[in-house]
Every structure is written in C-alpha cells, then in structure tokens.
Amino acid sequence: MSQLENDRYLRALRRQPVDRTPIWIMRQAGRYLPEYREVRKQAGDFMTLCRTPELACEVTLQPLRRFDLDASIIFSDILTIPDAMGLGLYFVTGEGPKFERTIGSAADVAQLPIPDMHDTLGYVMDAIRLTRREINNKVPLIGFSGSPWTLACYMVEGGASKDFAKVKAMAFDAPELMYALLAKLATAVTDYLNAQIDAGAQALMLFDTWGGALSGEAYRAFSLRYMQQIIDGVKQRPANADVPITLFTKGGGQWLSHMADTGADALGLDWTTDIALARQLVGDRVALQGNMDPCLLYASPKRIEQEVQQILSGFGHGNGHVFNLGHGIHPTIDPEHVSALVEAVHQYSALYHQN
C-alpha cells in the first residue's frame, strides 16, 4: 500500500512524534461551506446525498481543498444503521432526524435485522472506496459510527429528545429489553466498522453523542459496556491491528479513566472538559482529541488564535494530541474563521513538538 503523504493524524493517535499537532474538524464537510450547499441542492435531500457515493465523496473532499487539514472523514450519518434496519429515517427541516417506526417492545427488537454491510449499507463502503482513490494518499480517511446507546436513543424516542424520557424509562424499567437492543446494535456497529476498514477507512471514530445524558452507573451499563464490545470486535481482527479508534462521549469528561480502559487509542473531549486535567487523568494511556468550543469560531480570528494557544498550552509538550472542536462545526460559521483556526494550530503547535 502506498505511503501517506501526511500521516500526522495517525501518528498522533498512536502517541508517536509529530512535527506539529494535527487538526481536523468534526462535521468539516457540511452546511457552512457554500460548495456543500450546492451539492446538497443537486442531491435534492440529505439521505440521497449520503446514499450517492459520488456525491458523498465530493463533499468529503471539499474541506480538504479549502483547508490544510490532516485528516478527512467520510460524509455519512450516524443513523445509517437504524435506517438499514428498516425504521424509515427521514429529516424534517429545523427538527432534524425522525423515524417512521420506533422500538418499544421485545417483539420490535426481535424483528430488527442485522443489516447486510455490502447490500443495505453498501453505499457507505462504495463512498469510502471512491474517496480513498480520490484522496490519493494525501491524508488518512476516517470511518465512523454512532454508539449503540446513541442509536437506541433515536430508535426509541423516534428522533431527537430533550429529556430522553422514553429511552431512559426502557433502560431503567425494562433493562433486559434495553440490553437486547444494545447487544444487537453492538453487533451491527462492529460489522459496520469492520466493513469500513475493509473498504479503506484508515481510522475509526465512535460517536457517543448522548452518553452524557446518563448517570455514571447507567453510562457504564448502557453505553460504555457496548462500546467496549465494539472495540474488542474490531481489534480482534489481525488486519485491523494498525487502525486506531477514537471514542467520543459528549458530556463524558468525568468518565475518561473508564473510557481509557476500553482499549480505545484516543478519547474525544468536548469543550466542558479541561484538556490539561484530562491529560493528567489519562496520562499516556490514550491520545486526546479536542477541544475548542465550536462557538468560538464566531469570534474574531485574533480571539480564535488566543484560544488555540490556550488549548495547546493546556495539553502541553509531547505526543498524542489531535486538535479539534469539542463537537461539530455550526452551519452558520464563516469559512474564513475556519482558515484562521487551522493556520493558528499550524503556527503555534510546532513549539510543543520540539525536542
């Protein structure tokens, strides 16, 4: 296999020396870019964009053309698995994802199929293969999935939720039913990520968007346990030995030590967690990704530069830091402010990697 021109991101995840801190941005392909909005208009709707490999490839590449980023992430959605399970995913403007059918009983869980990764979800693998060819080894390509708990939240609630009442009621009042759902999702996610590696993904990210809605005990029982199963299921394949996995629980800063025990190579931090304290907590067990507040990109380039310096200083010298936002970039951000962010990381991070 050809060598990557830029492998800073993979080296940082492995806590190996780099010349500067690598940067990529969650949701870096998206609505803040006018060229994305043009392709989205061409597709007609969001899921058509996701399911058309040529279009998914194009929007994956768009931020790489604008910014000197150290990684790309395949354009897709965290809800592709429940959609492939037959729940009827659709999107409502201003409200986000919805499902035509929800999960509320043992019969519902029993009827859920494990999707065929090369049939029902083959469009994701086709997009990865095409994108790897088009990137031509310039930077690595990240594959991803939503965590079982996060997927279950949408599948039980029928969409986004403010209080997670339905899914928590199931977890607390019918835990065996919730365990059955999460176990099936863990199997599907493991298959999905393994298929993404086979298609060409060079790193993986597991997005546990709603893990932070749980208490500590419930997080370990209903979220972390199943992410552990997925990491084990990916890592046990000899061919996957060099594919690093980043685990990101939004609102999960208090559980970093438990998260590091999973065997993940890196942990994502949201902006509510101090990166210096996080590094003290996990030491050199894992790399850390993060963690600027996405709303700082509304500030002036000078203020963005100050924040970059503060986060770099917080992590300090040494290896194992991937610069990123603490969550996805907002759709109303000025792309020029993203340029300012990337340039600031380039300018100031080299100081932290000198011997």
Residues 6+ apart with CB under 8 A from 167: 152, 153, 156, 157, 161, 178
Is 40 a known active-site residue?
A: yes
Which one of the listed residues 8, 27, 51, 279 is annotated catalytic?
27
With H, G, I as helix, E, B as strand and everything else as coil, classify residue 16.
Answer: coil
Which one of the listed residues 36, 154, 219, 226 is annotated catalytic?
154
Annotated ligand binding at 28? The verdict is yes
Our measurement of the distance from residue 244's CA atom to the centroid of its chain's CA atoms, rounded to an integer in Å, reads 13
Residues 6+ apart with CB under 8 A from 66: 33, 335, 338, 339
Annotated ligand binding at 45? The verdict is no
Residues 6+ apart with CB under 8 A from 294: 271, 325, 326, 327, 328, 329, 330, 333
Q: Which DSSP category does 222 fall into?
A: I
Is 27 a known active-site residue?
A: yes
Is 77 a known active-site residue?
A: yes
Annotated ligand binding at 77? The verdict is yes
Residues linked to residue 206 through DSSP beta bridges, in sequence order:
145, 247
Which one of the listed residues 31, 66, 220, 285 is annotated catalytic?
31
Annotated ligand binding at 123? The verdict is no
Annotated ligand binding at 154? The verdict is yes
Which one of the listed residues 7, 8, 70, 77 is annotated catalytic?
77
Is 11 a known active-site residue?
A: no
Annotated ligand binding at 27? The verdict is yes
Amino acid letter, 167: V
Of residues 199, 175, 71, the one with CA closest to residue 127 = 199
Annotated ligand binding at 29? The verdict is yes
Amino acid letter, 281: L
User: Residue 34: is it exposed, middle or buried by C-beta count within 10 angstroms (0-12/13-18/19+)?
Assistant: exposed
- Cα–Cα separations (whole angstroms), residue 65 to 7, 38, 56, 77: 17, 16, 15, 22
- Cα–Cα separations (whole angstroms), residue 81 to 62, 187, 268, 307: 25, 11, 22, 36
Annotated ligand binding at 327? The verdict is yes
Spatial separation of the C-alpha atoms in residues 120 and 339, rounded to whole Å: 37
Is 298 a known active-site residue?
A: no
Residue ranges of the annotated binding site are: 27-31, 77, 154, 209, 327
Catalytic (active-site) positions: 27, 31, 40, 77, 154
Residue ranges of the annotated binding site for substrate are: 27-31, 77, 154, 209, 327
